């Protein structure tokens, strides 16, 4: 399976108070940490929600808008599946892809960390155009994705205090 990695970086960072993607941790931005965490598990990695790949169908659709854009890009580039993480995902379990295969699946502790087949794109577009429930878990239920239990609990960086706590570890 040819896997595209996608860092979802299109959020407004309202709770964080500034652009979370450029916040610094150990001399690197959170975006750089997320890219580094994702690279070993994928054939290629992209950033969604800023730059060349905009959320679909528009900004402010939450993580599903980023996942949709990543799936569209994956289809266009010949990938079979997309492994997604949020911009504040500074580390992943070493066996994340093995945990999540076969797609569709997501980490029960953080559904944005998911492995999504490109065949789910039409279902995701339907969810986004309906607009009723834009939760990742709702999309996951619709396509029969598995919630995978793991001892790994990703850091949750919602505010500056969370980032400071992570720095102290």
What backbone torsions phi and psi does residue 161 show, to the nearest 5 degrees?
-60, -40
Give the pairing type, strands 3-8 and 81-86. parallel
Q: What is the pLDDT of residues 127-153, one digit of tens each?
A: 999 878 999 999 999 999 999 999 988
Residue 111 lies in domain: 3-168
CATH number of the domain that residue 57 is part of: 3.90.550.10
d(CA 22, CA 141): 33
Considering its fold, how many domains does the chain have in total?
Answer: 1
Q: What is the pLDDT of residues 44-94, one digit of tens each?
A: 999 999 989 999 999 989 999 999 999 999 999 999 999 999 999 999 999
- Measured CA to CA in angstroms, residue 55 lies from 6, 48, 92 at distances of 12, 6, 23
């Amino acid at each position: 399976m040819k896997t595209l990695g996608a860092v979802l970086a299109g959020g407004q960072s309202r709770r964080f108070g500034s652009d979370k993607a450029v916040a610094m941790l150990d001399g690197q931005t959170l975006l750089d940490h997320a890219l580094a965490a994702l690279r070993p598990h994928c054939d290629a990695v992209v950033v969604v929600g800023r730059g060349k790949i905009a959320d679909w169908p528009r900004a402010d659709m939450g993580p599903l808008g980023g996942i949709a854009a990543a799936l569209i890009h994956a289809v266009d580039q010949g990938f079979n599946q997309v492994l997604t993480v949020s911009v504040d995902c500074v580390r992943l379990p070493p066996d994340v892809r093995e945990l999540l295969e076969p797609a569709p699946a997501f980490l029960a502790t953080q559904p944005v960390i998911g492995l999504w087949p490109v065949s789910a794109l039409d279902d995701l577009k339907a969810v986004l155009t309906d607009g009723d429930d834009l939760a990742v878990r709702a999309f996951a239920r619709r396509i029969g994705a598995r919630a995978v239990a793991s001892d790994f609990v990703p850091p949750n960086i919602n505010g500056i205090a969370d980032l400071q706590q992570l720095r102290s570890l």
